[in-house]
Structure 1
């Protein structure tokens, strides 16, 4: 009997940890985000479902090419809960990514989502890096129609290698609010800045190089 009770406790704990690591399942048809609420929860408060409208579940921004005239030559157009309030609690979102010739979506992570990318146009070299201690690069060159998965939390990137042509991709993410941490921006562009002495020691770089990177980002 004692063994059975212990087994039940272990199963309950396992289930608790499993549910804690994922976004909770909705308990109603939908939970349209109420951006005007001052209540703070792990997510966004639902507005009265009687006030829901078609536009709460609609997004037209992905039909338009993104402006890639920037330093990295890419533009990410998100469709998450901030743009589509009806996504609240559903654990899914999407992005459109436009690439200029030789443009890159720089190394970044999504702390709350796995990403599945599909190439619509062009050729992309993509990859992610496994965690310590291996830090192994897993990469692939993708053509139009190919798909690739980036596991949650791991640093990944996409680079347009299509011989001077533009590229377009879309991606689905397993969170309505996946978050994005661009590695260079976070490390060298934090506010307030990480002390240059810390970065000099961490990256084994000359302090002037670190300070120059901080001015860029």
Structure 2
């Protein structure tokens, strides 16, 4: 498959590049920093690079791919994650491909006996006002996507803790519920998320919906 990874130099994006290559895909890595993309290509010589702001990508540029992965992150302006999702959806209304894959946050997952959003717990953390805009935007992004029916998409959320690391060979998986393993941990490594995302676009099980994975 021909795959475009937006935000390819980040923790999630770079792991997805590696997993996609391992699956035999033709990968194009997108990012704003030509220097970071050069480093990524040095580690993954088989990729193509596209140094360009994600918002400057055109419909014609993305139409040649089978899958477009949105691993874009904008901590200083979280609303841009919603804006980019909306732009990609706009480009692909009623188009058969590419399929859009979104790396979403854990804040939209439900937890507790009352199935409240994890976002509610995060908002109670001391000092949350400094960073709560990021998980809030991730919740809004998923709400937007859930109203999109004429574009092929799926979303993938990590567990509460998302860290760099290799893939778990036996990950936990659910649809919308925050996963906690037998050790009381709610953690997803970048390798686990990447392999689950690549597996989903090769063998779709969650059309136009979100799922979540965690390390066991």
User: Which protein is bigger by CA-based radius of gyration?
Assistant: 1
Q: Which structure shows the higher strand fraction?
A: 1
Q: Which has the higher helix share?
A: 2
TM-score in terms of structure 1 length: 0.25
